[in-house]
Amino acid sequence: MSKPYRLMNILFADITRSSSIYERLGDRAAQDVIGSILANLSEKAAKFDGRVIKTIGDAVMCCFESTDSAVDAGKAMLQAMSRPMGDSPDALTVNIHIGIHVGPVVEENEDIFGDAVNVAARVVDYANPRQIVVTREVIDNLSENANHSIKYLASVTAKNISGEIELFEIVFDSQKLTTVLDTRKLAEGLYTSLYLTRNEDSIVVDQTRHSISVGREEHNDIVINYSWISRTHARIDNRNGSIMVTDKSTNGTFIYPSNAEPIFVNKGEQSLAGAGVIVFGREKKDDEPEAGDDVVAYVVK
Domains of the chain by residue range: 6-182, 194-300
Which of 30-34, 42-46, 234-238 is least confident?
A: 30-34
Looking at residue 47, its pLDDT comes to 95
pLDDT of residue 292: 66
Q: Once rounded to an integer, what is the mean pLDDT over residues 159-176?
A: 72
What is the phi/psi pair of residue 35, to 5°? -60, -40
pLDDT tier for residue 81 given thresholds of 50, 70 and 90: confident
Nearest to 172 by CA among 151, 143, 155: 151
- Least confident window among 234-243, 246-255, 284-293: 284-293
For residue 106, give Cα distances in angstroms to 115, 116, 140.
10, 10, 22
Fold of 6-182: Alpha-Beta Plaits (3.30.70)
pLDDT at position 72 is 95
The 3-state DSSP class for residue 109 equals coil
> Which residue did the predictor score with more confidence, 156 or 67?
67
Average pLDDT over residues 100-116: 91
pLDDT of residue 39: 92
Query: Residue 69 in 3-state DSSP?
Result: helix
3-class state of residue 179 by DSSP: coil
> What's the whole-number mean pLDDT along residues 235-249?
86
What lies within 8 Å, CB to CB, of 66 at 6+ separation is 9, 49
DSSP 77: H
The secondary structure of the chain in percent helix, strand, coil, rounded to multiples of 5, reads: 20, 40, 40
pLDDT band at 286 (very low <50, low <70, confident <90, very high): confident
- The β-bridge relationship of strands 132-135 and 96-108 is parallel
Give 7-39 as a 3 state SS string: EEEEEEEEECCHHHHHHHHCHHHHHHHHHHHHH
- Please tell me the pTM assigned to this model: 0.59
Pairing of strands 242-247, 132-135: unpaired
The third-level CATH classification (topology) of the domain covering 194-300 is: Tumour Suppressor Smad4 (2.60.200)
